[in-house]
Structure 1
Amino acid sequence: MIAIFDYGMGNLHSVSKAVERLGYESAVTSDPEQILAADGAILPGVGAFGDAMQHLHESNLRDVVLRYATSGKPLLGICLGMQLLFSRSEEHGSHEGLNLLPGEVVRFQGDYKIPHMGWNRLEFLQPSPLLGGLDEGYVYFVHSYRVKPENQSDLLAVTDYYQPVTAVVGRDNVYGMQFHPEKSGELGMKLLGNFLGLCKAEIHK
């Protein structure tokens, strides 16, 4: 079973439906026992970084995310959920993140359209099980802030939006996608499928 963190912020229904379309059972849940027993877990997110961290604290799920990450089972952050994996964000002030991956979240700066919204091509930087068997292609982004990882080894794929922009990250069992794989057509679903394949969950196809 794949647990989808329900902390009051995120595209929970669409992520759950995408997981089920790929043949896996999912549960949108805030129950720590159910989450920690899951074969894999997804941390979605839509909205502001500080609000999301506050919701995680108030729902007592911050520590559950951290415990899950140390379990060795696969954890995936999507969009804002990926940003939350990092150390801090400057969105509407300074906010501490989950610090599972070192780095900071900063606002796009420049004379171009913000938010970054639309289809952009991924460039794969290094091998990863998340990217295995896939060709570079287009996925769908909507964000005004971007991640600057401290360790280049955590950076699996970038896109170009007036500068290289972090698109996919990963270290050990912790992964993140800045775009919405469930809204990113065939490539997005293949990327999500690769993550689910790491989870050793039972397929119900």
Structure 2
Amino acid sequence: MTAPDVVVLDYGSGNLRSVVRAVERAGATVTLTGDFDTALAADGLVVPGVGAYAACMAGLRAIKGERIIGRRLAGGRPVLGICVGMQVLFAGGVEHGVETDGCDEWPGLVTRLEADVVPHMGWNTVEAPAGTRLFAGVEDERFYFVHSYAARSWDLVTNDRTAAPLVTWAEHGGDRFVAAVENGPLSATQFHPEKSGDAGAALLHNWVSSLSVAARAPR
């Protein structure tokens, strides 16, 4: 079986090498690049992200990353966002009173967690929905989170015109937030699967395995 070709998008965000290694271990052939055409053509695209929302968006825009994501999704080509790489998929983010436009693939704002202890740092369980493919076999496992901001509501309304996304939730200090989304070719996790041990490895394997058919299909 041909290993799917995955690009980890290099736009100046940190933690890239650990993501590359984790996706490789999940069964993909991985290229770390910010090249527009290479990222557009890959079987799968991973958008990592650490740090401030505004800085990540500035880095994405510098390589036309929002256009890469949009064009891939328009063609049904899979994208996986991780941590701030998930947050930038929403319409915007608010940090220190300043709102920054995001990629606007999903409506809603990313805002600061309302909990006594912030950041949310460490292992936590998630509430995965029935029918999840991303969490298949690891629905009851714990995953590693490091964040102060999150999407704390889910605002996309499909009106039954398209399949409703599968939204996974988590809770920290009494504040519920979106922990993951499966929305056709677009998937994302607020936690770091590359730091989540066997559970994270299984989740990445689930995602990479979903790319294999596309990787073998004629183009």
TM-score, length of structure 1 as denominator length: 0.92
Equivalent residue for 2:61, pick from 41, 57, 60: 57
1:188 paired with 2:200, answer: yes
**Secondary structure of the equivalent of 1:149?**
coil
CA deviations on 1:86-117 (whole Å, 9 max, x unpaired) are 1111123011110111221010124x110000
Structure 1 stretch displaced more, 76-85 or 193-202: 193-202
Q: Which moved more, 1:189-198 or 1:173-182?
A: 189-198
Where does 1:58-137 land on structure 2 (aligned, <5 Å)? 58-92=62-96, 93-110=98-115, 112-137=116-141
Provide the secondary structure at the position in 2 that maps to 1:128: coil
Q: 1:156 matched to which residue of 2?
A: 167
The match for 2:160 is: none
**What is the alpha-carbon root mean square deviation over aligned residues?**
1.6
Query: 1:157 is matched by which residue type in structure 2?
Result: T
Per-residue deviation, 1:132:
2.6
- Consecutive unaligned residues in structure 2, runs of 5 or more: 158-163
- Aligned to 1:90, what secondary structure does the other structure show? strand
2 CA distance for matches of 1:185 and 1:32? 31
Deviations 1:12-36 (A, max 9, x none): 1000000111221100111111111
TM-score, normalised relative to structure 2: 0.86
Percent sequence identity is 38
Q: Distance in 1 between matches of 2:53 and 2:9?
A: 16
Q: Do structure 1's residue 22 and structure 2's residue 33 form an aligned pair?
A: no
Corresponding residue for 1:169? 181
Please, which runs of 5 or more residues in structure 1 have no aligned partner?
Answer: none
Aligned partners of 1:60 and 1:156: how far apart in 2?
Answer: 27
Q: Which has the larger displacement, 47-56 or 122-131?
A: 122-131
- The whole-number CA distance in structure 2 between the counterparts of 1:126 and 1:156 is 10
Cα deviation for residue 133 of structure 1 reads: 3.5
Which amino acid is 1:50 matched to? A
What SS is found at the alignment partner of 1:158? strand
Aligned length: 201
CA distance in 1, matches of 2:66, 2:180: 22
